[in-house]
Structure 1
Amino acid sequence: MNAPASTIAPPGTLMHPSIHPDERAARVKLAACYRIFAMLGWTEMIYNHITVRLPDSVTGGEKQFLINPFGLHYSEVTASNLVKIDLQGRVLDGSRWPVNPAGFTVHAAIHDGLPAAHCVMHTHTTAGVAVACLQGGLQQNNFYTAQLHGMVAYHDFEGITIHADEGPRLLRSIGDKPAVILRNHGLLAWGETLEQTFAILWTLQRACEIQMATLSMGAPIPVGEAVAARCTEDALQFNPNHGAGRDVFDALVRQVDRIDATYKQ
């Protein structure tokens, strides 16, 4: 499938002028998130995905979500070139961009199987993949792992994630845990909002970075179970009553705006 010649819509427009306001808002926020990932260096060429399930006000109760157009770097994603698809990966908005099967297979399973999974994020960062490949996975030995006490799930590697039959096994592995380490593969997070999901993934990413640095120097100091449990209770960045990551996300959006605000197009 050939991609359109221009990746960015004219200023101030979206692909569909009559788009529902809730979908328009979801597109702009998700496009901003892709640019934040690019700014942070959480990219893998044209691969990996961040998806958002559209609200019932847009879909009439059907399960539909937005995903990045396959072939674009995260720094090229805009509100207008995001692709709306259903759980089978069918394009619903007339987009000429293709969709990566490895994207909708995993993300559709989570959006469909976990009612609270409004947003799903997946990365292949060096630190994330390194910890995913480590026997024992994430260790409870730093400030960030302590904030994820009881929140991390693991799923064994089954190869490239393009086979729908892996979905039920993935959901069993995840249970109700929002931070997921895909063994030998990478990191994944899901949450009730995009901002909350970002906060979870950012904390998981930092935990992996610190662990990788610590283990390169020697044996880490473990954090006790009681202390870790208290840290997770005290952590505010995941809590809806304290914004669930909204303040941090908004600050990063402002930083992106100062660099390049074309994601809004």
Structure 2
Amino acid sequence: MSVGGVHKLLTSLHRWQCLNINTRRMYSARPRLSLIGATARPRPILAWERKLQRGRATWSEEAGCAAEMNKQQREELAAAYQALDSFGLSEGINNHLSSKAPARNGKGEIILLFPYGLHWNEVTASRLVGVDMESGTVVEGVGEPETTAVNIHCQVYQEALKSGSSINTVFHLHPPYCSALSCLQDPTFRMIHQNSARFFGDVAYDDGYDGLAMDTEEGCRLARIMSGKSVLLMGNHGILVTDETVARAFNTTYYLERAAMVQILAMSSGAKLSELDDAAASLVRTQIMENYTKDSTLYFEAIKRLIRIKSSYDFTK
């Protein structure tokens, strides 16, 4: 074999190893559940998944694995866009949700985002675009994401990689009650309710808002402030939520807004708040997080069943 042939073979093996590692990481974070009635049971491992896990996939099967996982992530993220819109948590054609996925061609990972100009209710799997994490350019799909989306999401993912975090999903929204809290001089989530306690010790606060994220440094700044926490309350702005899966990020976003709603309503009464002590709040968070992945998955599957009925756009298309 020529020197050029050896180099090509080694390069191919390195690419396969990188894809195999990324694929295992993503699937280890995603519970395989299917629903029959109200009972959840593990989804059977598909043949191509088993081959991938054993390192026996051919080049054609490798591309098939990447394309299938890309499709699954597109469907999950499109469902999240439509579901959050159904709760009235979208804002115009702005705000943005993203998720990492293997590139369709099997060459590394991309970030899925919706193209600028679509309403969240119109987002479907095929309408999402794939963005290169380092350059911020579109490498899959038609359209361009909003500038601030690229500047925030790409940098949050890159900072997560540097720290060894397993973040695969990033949501940025301006939900009404969380945004109202962000406008207070003291925007702290108060431990006054069970929904509040689930976020005990897991919320970072940014009080340095000075305009739109028109450059990558703003994304870096936000990622540094989060420092391992899954929620960032962005002063005078909104929220940033990160997690391992779309289902978990959706669950976090939903209950974060509910906690903010309870706090705003309680504060509006003018009466003194009844706050849990740290021990009680910590216990509640521990209890909730023990079952968080299963709870998030089952709730998200239920929501997907509802939006299939209600929405004019099939998120899987």
5 Å matches for 1:193-208?
193-208=245-260
1:251 matched to 2:298? The reply is: no
Residue of structure 1 equivalent to 2:47: none
The code of the aligned residue for 1:46 comes to I
Shift of 1:117: 1.4
Q: Which structure's CA Rg is the greater one?
A: 2
Provide the rounded CA distance (Å) in 2 between the counterparts of 1:94 and 1:45: 22
Match of 2:177 among 118, 122, 127: 127
Residue of structure 2 equivalent to 1:10: none
5+ residue gaps, structure 2: 1-63
Q: 1:7-49: per-residue Cα shift (whole Å, max 9, x none)?
A: xxxxxxxxxxx88111111111111111101111111010001
5 Å matches for 1:60-139?
60-61=107-108, 63-87=109-133, 88-95=135-142, 97-114=143-160, 115-137=165-187, 138-139=189-190
Match of 1:231 among 280, 284, 289: 284
Q: Is the 8 A contact 1:64 1:84 kept in 2?
A: yes
Shift of 1:141: 1.8
Choose 159-168 or 146-155, whichever is displaced more: 159-168
Q: 1:218-253: per-residue Cα shift (whole Å, max 9, x none)?
A: 22111111110111101147634xx25100000000
Q: 1:55-113: per-residue Cα shift (whole Å, max 9, x none)?
A: 3786533x411001110110111111111111232010251x22101111111111111
Higher relative contact order (Cα pairs below 8 Å, separated by 6+ residues)? 1
Provide the rounded CA distance (Å) in 1 between the counterparts of 2:237 and 2:140: 31
SS, match of residue 166 in structure 2? coil
Provide the rounded CA distance (Å) in 1 between the counterparts of 2:298 and 2:190: 28
1:262 matched to 2:301? The reply is: no
Q: Is the 8 A contact 2:152 2:219 kept in 1?
A: yes
Match of 1:166 among 193, 199, 218: 218
Question: Percent sequence identity over matched residues?
Answer: 27
The code of the aligned residue for 1:226 comes to A
1:251/1:143 Cα in 2 relative to 1: closer, same or farther (>3 Å)? same
Q: Is the 8 A contact 2:67 2:106 kept in 1?
A: no
Provide the rounded CA distance (Å) in 2 between the counterparts of 1:203 and 1:119: 17
Residue of structure 2 equivalent to 1:11: none
Q: Is the 8 A contact 1:237 1:245 kept in 2?
A: no
SS, match of residue 205 in structure 2? strand
Q: TM (normalized to structure 2)?
A: 0.73
Q: TM (normalized to structure 1)?
A: 0.86
1:153 matched to 2:204? The reply is: yes
Provide the rounded CA distance (Å) in 1 between the counterparts of 2:291 and 2:111: 23
RMSD: 1.9
Provide the rounded CA distance (Å) in 2 between the counterparts of 1:144 and 1:171: 25
5+ residue gaps, structure 1: 1-17
Residue of structure 2 equivalent to 1:23: 70
Number of residue pairs matched?
244
Match of 1:221 among 236, 259, 274: 274
The code of the aligned residue for 1:22 comes to M
SS, match of residue 216 in structure 2? coil
